[in-house]
Amino acid sequence: MLLEIKDVHVHYGKIEALKGISLEVDEGEIVSLIGANGAGKTTTLRMISGIRSVTSGSVVFEGKDITRLAGHKRVIAGIGQSPEGRGCFPGMTVHENLLMGAYTRKDDLAKDLDEVYELFPRLAERRTQATGTMSGGEQQMVAIGRALMTKPKMLLLDEPSMGLAPMLIAQIFSIIQEINRRGTTVLLIEQNAQQALQISNRAYVLETGSITKTAPASQLLNDPDVQKAYLGGDLTH
């Protein structure tokens, strides 16, 4: 078991954002967390990466309890995140943004930079361009590339397809699969539930801070409740 979340509650003041959720991610999987806006998906990722503290419950990564571990130490432990909204540094070049992902590292970066540029040829072409002048899709590539520069064992992706054209969405999802094939476990939050389920091994459905369903992704694709709520009707034919 790579990640195990046990009965986690998270509050924003008096508001309970997560109501005792439990989930697991095995090494080598792509696991999706689907749900409507405000369901608690982003809070879940922030809790795993250490940005949001836990009221009660535990977060275990590689068998170690990291519930109270500082965020930067979680990066060192192997948890990398590409945040919602991308969070690029607009005045910095593509290359400088990627190097920011490696701020906790003391080893040689050349091989990993080459791999990011191989995954994202467009970034290789534009490595000296200011990120703020790039399209949303290109900035998403920078955000994922920067997260990969942390050398994560598990990559957290928060809405990677948000605001992108359909052709770019297909490209981003294909790259996510390639990242996984190369050995990185992925936990994916995505409003485009159909795309997410098509590339995932398993998935969880989150509704108003509670996990209401979990199953193999292929099973959830054919679940009438999931189809109605997240997939725009019957997709079985």
Residue-wise pLDDT tens digits, 147-175: 999 999 999 999 999 889 888 999 999 99
CB 52 within 8 A of CB 83: no
Residues 6+ positions from 224 with CB-CB distance below 8 Å: 234
- Per-residue confidence (pLDDT) for residue 75, from 0 to 100: 95
- Per-residue confidence (pLDDT) for residue 172, from 0 to 100: 93
Question: Does the pLDDT of residue 237 top 50, yes or no?
Answer: no
Backbone phi, then psi, for 141, in 5-degree steps?
Answer: -65, -40
What is d(CA 200, CA 193) in angstroms, rounded to the nearest whole number?
A: 10
| Whole-number CA gyration radius for the chain | 17
Least Cα distance to 197 among 161, 154, 163, 151 occurs for 161
Which position has the token pair 């050349």?
110
CB 153 within 8 A of CB 62: yes
Band of residue 63 on the pLDDT scale cut at 50, 70, 90:
very high
Residue-wise pLDDT tens digits, 174-188: 999 999 999 999 999
Least Cα distance to 17 among 55, 43, 46 occurs for 43
- Per-residue confidence (pLDDT) for residue 225, from 0 to 100: 92
> What is the percent of the chain where pLDDT is above 90?
86
CB 146 within 8 A of CB 82: yes
pLDDT, mean over the chain: 93
Indicate the class that CATH gives domain 3-230. Answer: alpha beta
Average pLDDT over residues 208-226: 95
CB 219 within 8 A of CB 225: no
Least Cα distance to 161 among 203, 191, 198, 185 occurs for 191
Q: What is the dihedral of CA 57, 27, 25, 75, to 10 degrees?
A: 50
- Per-residue confidence (pLDDT) for residue 233, from 0 to 100: 52
Question: Does the pLDDT of residue 103 top 90, yes or no?
Answer: no
